[in-house]
Amino acid sequence: MNFILMHKKIPIVDLEIDSETGHILKIGTPINIDHLPLGTFTNNDIDRVALREWWKSRCIPQNRDGIDILEKINIHSPQSLSCKYYGLSLSDHYWICPKDQAINWNDINFFANPFSYDVSDLLFNSEYKEGSRKFNFCSPDCTTSGQLRKKWKIINGDRYLLKKGSLSFKLEIFNEVIATSICSRLDIGHSMYTLSQENGVFYCMTKNFLSPTTELVTATSIFNQYKLPDNISRYEHYIACGEMLGIKNMRWQVEQMLILDFIMANSDRNFDNFGLIRNAETLEWVGVSPVFDCGSSLFFNKSNYSINLAISNADSKPFRSKHREQIKLVRNIDVVNLNSLSSIGDEYSELLSQDQDLTHERRSLLCKGLTRRIQILKKYAQATKF
């Protein structure tokens, strides 16, 4: 089927997409190169591989928990789901307009218009009522990435992202909530997560940090656009890109994220889990995105007996593979007031106590893990002080 890739009201490029698979078959000549997704126009030409990758990254990944239920509605690939309602998202302002239809952005975008909860019921709650009324695909859930079950919900006019923990570990959502508290105490810009429960199942909830004019551009896209020169590390290059784009306090904001990730022993800060925000109309850069997706941390996937080892040998992403190495990239560690975290272990314990399935032993190991990480960081900060 033939579409035009749109950025809000601006036509960007013709696309032929296979509706069965959701794959981009053909990419036309760009109509507007400035508004192409960042990283898909390099060396004076459209990068067709990068555009296809970008399109895929905006779809539900194949490893999403519970994705098989899409078969019930005859969707055989998550990518084809994103074509079911114009490819609209709540994280950016791109969409696909069928060539033969005159559709107005103002009438369809999810920032301003209500949406159906059919896809949410299916993917978040595994609820499907066979043979009932026609399934309504009008939902930003069709394009929301990430492995964990999630859905968007409108509450008092605001858009919130609700996320469940993984079936095997469950702790991810509690970790989002404790990350919120750590960020508040350390004054780190973050997406604020709260804990809720529905039918005995916990989930966390966070407000959309984007708006009808702003969109998220991931670090992946930044690296696709601004190729890594030979003589500079990926870390310094990312900071240099932000500074070149006019982002204020770029280095300090990236450092704050690394400090948080050290404390939480975050093992999944991949290049899609942070980025920059830009104005989708003017293409001006607004700032660094608030910190989000801190769930894969605090030994969530470690067995009780391996937590101790992991505390002192935590794996990291994306700039170094161990946190003890990654933290060395931070120049301003002494600026952080780690004393503000003095009661965080108790707060984490209280939070985790809500999960009846978590044994007392595991809870205390996890809380000890958090307080130990802070102690290790304090010691490191002391040792590097001049």
Ligand X SMILES: Nc1ncnc2c1ncn2[C@@H]1O[C@H](COP(=O)(O)OP(=O)(O)OP(=O)(O)O)[C@@H](O)[C@H]1O
For Mg ion, the closer of residues 118 and 261 by Cβ is 261
CB 57 within 8 A of CB 123: no
Q: Hey, which residues between 76 and 115 contact ligand X (CB under 6 A)?
A: 90-91
The C-alpha atoms of residue 264 and residue 341 are separated, in whole angstroms, by 12
- The residue from 50, 216, 241, 260 that contacts ligand X (CB under 6 A) is 216
Per the listing, tokens 């204020």 go with: 248
In sequence order, the β-bridge partners of residue 163 are: 150, 204
Specify the stretch interacting with ligand X by CB under 6 A; choose among 27-35, 48-56, 133-141, 289-297. 289-297
**Amino acid identity at 187:** D
Question: What, of ligand X, Mg ion, none, does residue 119 touch, CB below 5 to 8 Å by kind?
Answer: none
For ligand X, the closer of residues 278 and 338 by Cβ is 278
Q: Show the DSSP H helices in 139-249 as ranges.
A: 172-186, 219-225, 234-244
The C-alpha atoms of residue 378 and residue 326 are separated, in whole angstroms, by 15
Tally DSSP H helices, then E strands, for the chain.
Answer: 12, 13
For Mg ion, the closer of residues 273 and 371 by Cβ is 273
Minimum distance from residue 293 beta carbon to Mg ion (Å): 4
47 in contact with ligand X (CB under 6 A): no
Q: Show the DSSP H helices in 295-354 as ranges.
A: 304-312, 323-326, 344-352
- The residue from 77, 143, 206, 297 that contacts ligand X (CB under 6 A) is 206
For ligand X, the closer of residues 214 and 256 by Cβ is 214
Minimum distance from residue 188 beta carbon to Mg ion (Å): 18
Question: What, of Mg ion, ligand X, none, does residue 209 touch, CB below 5 to 8 Å by kind?
Answer: ligand X
Per the listing, tokens 């998220």 go with: 216
CA atoms within 13 A of residue 322's CA, in its CB half-sphere: 8
Minimum distance from residue 299 beta carbon to ligand X (Å): 16
* Three-class SS state of 166: coil
Instruction: Return the H-helix or E-strand segment holding 341.
Output: none
Specify the stretch interacting with ligand X by CB under 6 A; choose among 119-127, 287-295, 343-351, 360-368. 287-295
Rounded to a whole number, what is the largest CA-CA distance in the chain?
Answer: 70
The C-alpha atoms of residue 137 and residue 81 are separated, in whole angstroms, by 8
Task: Sketch the per residue contact string, 248 through 277, with ligand X: x for CB under 6 A, - otherwise.
Answer: --------------------x---xx----
Minimum distance from residue 116 beta carbon to ligand X (Å): 19
- The residue from 37, 139, 293, 326 that contacts ligand X (CB under 6 A) is 293
Site size with ligand X, rule: CB under 6 A: 22
Q: Which burial class, exposed, middle or buried, applies to 40 when counting CB atoms under 10 A from its CB (0-12, 13-18, 19+)?
A: buried
CB 293 within 8 A of CB 268: yes
CB 90 within 8 A of CB 144: yes
- The residue from 15, 161, 173, 333 that contacts ligand X (CB under 6 A) is 161
Minimum distance from residue 207 beta carbon to ligand X (Å): 6
For ligand X, the closer of residues 47 and 293 by Cβ is 293
CA distances from 365 to 154, 294, 342, 376 (A): 37, 19, 17, 16
Minimum distance from residue 145 beta carbon to ligand X (Å): 5
For Mg ion, the closer of residues 147 and 308 by Cβ is 147
Minimum distance from residue 317 beta carbon to ligand X (Å): 10
Residues that bind Mg ion (CB under 5 A): 146, 273, 293
The C-alpha atoms of residue 181 and residue 162 are separated, in whole angstroms, by 18
Q: What residues make contact with ligand X under the rule CB under 6 A?
A: 90-91, 144-148, 161, 163, 191, 206, 208-210, 216, 268, 272-273, 292-293, 295-296
